[in-house]
Structure 1
């Protein structure tokens, strides 16, 4: 969605040098000494709780022990064997509620082992040195279509290719990566890491990526089922919930996901327009990313407004605290009532806040840019309604990621798999689907024998 530039919404708020500093890597690499020190804090627990907390079940004590012994190739191999997108997950996983949140060190000195930083230390070294390679099994003669080149689709394709099956990935965007490429704050994944990881993953061989191809527009599910031996749907949640309030069509109002994509894909950050007074409506990671990036682009005032309390926010406590350190003001228990404007441009948002005594009060915040981050939805174009859950919000799947339609599996954010809407969970969904597809091929071969 293009934003009309006015005196309050403009580009070039900061110099290239300032923007370079603002959008520098927020979690720079550990040096070898720091990595060795961090690794030495691990107890290498038997039946480690950190492993149980990781959706992809990485052998965390094992790879940390290897780092401590200076065996970075072995550590990276352990990580990438369980999670082929381990480099990106090391950057974007909410480790504070997963592996590091489960670390036994929290009960001893209130500081977990730096698992995420150590994982990135090993995987970045491996990528820089081209150290980890996979050998494909002999060609099976099977061919699978994967629709969606996000984390679930990429993980599924990689596992299937390893098993000797050929894979064609279709994606509606110009580049693969899904949310890793288009939906994550630029300061979390610098130096075009998402694309470098995609290219590394495709290097296993046997995978063809076709971009600019959308389900329901360029290909149909029926045609894919006829052409391929199996289909894996990993189409994500491409729709955005509407605010449906007076004034939501004013210029200066845009979806936060569109804003994040605009920042991510900008070749020159000085050209990205941003308001002086920005309001972000929502309480998830998307809201935090939009709010923080607005401030980093030069907004004078950034306010994030959420309708419930902080305990209900899907953004983790670490993301909330980071937003505050980046100049973002958080207002809770408050919902928008209407958006006000002048000459077609948004000028303010009227809110209603619930007080502790049960009463409500209304107040208005001035704004020249409003980002909506109130949730994403499944775009069911090209999907049979029978594939969906009763409420139509996701694709229904079983424990093996099978749908109700023969030869069709699904995973990632689009599927009702019961997991969290996280990159690491999407990777696990893709792995489970690949194992199920491979098993189905093996069973079919036995029956045909």
Structure 2
């Protein structure tokens, strides 16, 4: 609250009065967390596919990290063979169903679409991809069959997008795969780290179950590297190892008051929300502040609003053009009622036991980096930190450095590896490509 001079003074009332569950009615929760973009109807898909020029040297295909033959699968939809379109997609990206939902297509394939360049309206590649993949998956059909068993065994550590893609491709080549996952469920980022309204109806878990139909893959959950399993033991037991452990650490704000109650990481908040069936049971603040400018920050901010927060403010230390969250995601956040403040950094978090406000300083680029200027205070009874993740907490990382992608019989991929871009589609590509390298290595070892 403010005093007569406009300064901020701490309230004597307990903060917990501002954090509450059941802020909305049951119908509101159901509507707020329903599928953001339902799948296209068959007629809609045919109309959308007819807009494609089927370019021979397609820029959209080049922009796709998994190099899906986009003109081919869209032509297959246009000619009424959507199952064939799905197989075209899955041959390059076995998690094509999830990527159709969460990929920033507006920054990748659709941004370079010829129709976008000429008319400002691209072919709806993402929604067409979902139409094809959802259609085939709904039939319970797995489009690939394993090769003859090779007798080789590979350990995959981490059941996120990179680990799953690697495991599937290795199984396809006939190798036996054991996935070791630290959490209770497989899926990684797809299961725990993405907004619920993007992956409604438990899609992440259903996709994992569908992927495992290839056979030859065993998933062992609750197995953390360095606690339950050791890298040296995996190397001794298996013919190769693929590390896809993600980013377990979370960057700190390094601001006074960061340890106050009501301050938590955005990734933990999103994970809890994803695993809670009754969204009305989740307490949310009246005034929520999210610190960060990436996709995680947007997901945390938007879902805070959907849970019934009165005001939600995202604060990012640099300008709008430097935000890692796409312009589409930023627009989605503001449309949901989230306020975004650019060019401000947290100085201290204020409160007595519980957070009640955050003091920020406007930033500007100086000779030695960002410099702090005028300060302001935002009232907050809940604060989410979303300023990036790191490998610092991993025993195999040194000073937060990412892992090299190959070191002898041990490979690494996804967010934990050098070059990781914090995108599901990039992680899938790295897992798939690592599997091809591992398979070639194993075949060479069989000679």
| TM-score between the two structures when normalised by the length of structure 1 | 0.93
Deviates more, 1:143-152 or 1:350-359: 350-359
Preserved CA contact (<8 Å) 1:340 1:349: yes
1:49 to 59, 80, 85: 59
The 5 Å alignment of 1:197-216 reads 197-216=207-226
Q: CA deviation at 1:419?
A: 4.6
What's the counterpart of residue 347 of structure 1? 356
- Root mean square deviation of aligned Cα: 1.6
| TM-score between the two structures when normalised by the length of structure 2 | 0.94
Q: CA deviation at 1:353?
A: 1.0
Q: CA deviation at 1:231?
A: 0.3
What's the counterpart of residue 275 of structure 1? 285
Q: CA deviation at 1:232?
A: 0.2
What's the counterpart of residue 414 of structure 2? 412
What's the counterpart of residue 131 of structure 1? 141
What's the counterpart of residue 435 of structure 1? 436
2:95 to 85, 88, 99: 85
Q: Please, which runs of 5 or more residues in structure 2 have no aligned partner?
A: 1-13
Does 2:42 match 1:40?
no
Preserved CA contact (<8 Å) 1:233 1:408: yes
What's the counterpart of residue 368 of structure 1? 381
SS in 2 for 1:225: helix
Preserved CA contact (<8 Å) 1:308 1:333: yes
Preserved CA contact (<8 Å) 1:185 1:289: yes
Q: Please, which runs of 5 or more residues in structure 1 have no aligned partner?
A: none
What's the counterpart of residue 174 of structure 1? 184
What's the counterpart of residue 24 of structure 1? 34
Deviates more, 1:271-280 or 1:358-367: 358-367
What's the counterpart of residue 8 of structure 2? none
Preserved CA contact (<8 Å) 2:142 2:213: no
The 5 Å alignment of 1:106-255 reads 106-255=116-265
Decide whether aligned partners of structure 1 residues 143 and 355 sit closer, same or farther in structure 2, where only a CA change above 3 A counts.
Answer: closer
What's the counterpart of residue 403 of structure 2? 395
SS in 1 for 2:414: coil
Q: Deviations over 1:351-393 (max 9, x none)?
A: 111379998211111010000001101145342x6xx6xx542
Preserved CA contact (<8 Å) 2:158 2:243: yes
Preserved CA contact (<8 Å) 1:240 1:255: yes
Preserved CA contact (<8 Å) 2:319 2:343: yes
Preserved CA contact (<8 Å) 1:221 1:382: no
Q: CA deviation at 1:46?
A: 0.7
Output the CA distance in 1 between the equivalents of 2:303 and 2:117.
34
Decide whether aligned partners of structure 1 residues 203 and 359 sit closer, same or farther in structure 2, where only a CA change above 3 A counts.
Answer: closer
Q: CA deviation at 1:229?
A: 0.3
Output the CA distance in 1 between the equivalents of 2:167 and 2:180.
11
Output the CA distance in 2 between the equivalents of 1:381 and 1:149.
16
Preserved CA contact (<8 Å) 1:220 1:382: no
Preserved CA contact (<8 Å) 2:260 2:354: yes
Output the CA distance in 2 between the equivalents of 1:107 and 1:293.
33
Preserved CA contact (<8 Å) 2:160 2:190: yes
Preserved CA contact (<8 Å) 2:294 2:324: yes
Q: Deviations over 1:76-111 (max 9, x none)?
A: 000011100000000000001111011111121110
Preserved CA contact (<8 Å) 2:298 2:333: yes
Does 2:394 match 1:381?
yes
Decide whether aligned partners of structure 1 residues 102 and 292 sit closer, same or farther in structure 2, where only a CA change above 3 A counts.
Answer: same
Output the CA distance in 2 between the equivalents of 1:317 and 1:378.
28
Q: CA deviation at 1:16?
A: 1.6
Displaced runs of 4+ in structure 1, greater than 6 A?
355-359
Deviates more, 1:42-51 or 1:354-363: 354-363
What's the counterpart of residue 9 of structure 2? none
Output the CA distance in 1 between the equivalents of 2:38 and 2:334.
20
Preserved CA contact (<8 Å) 1:355 1:361: no
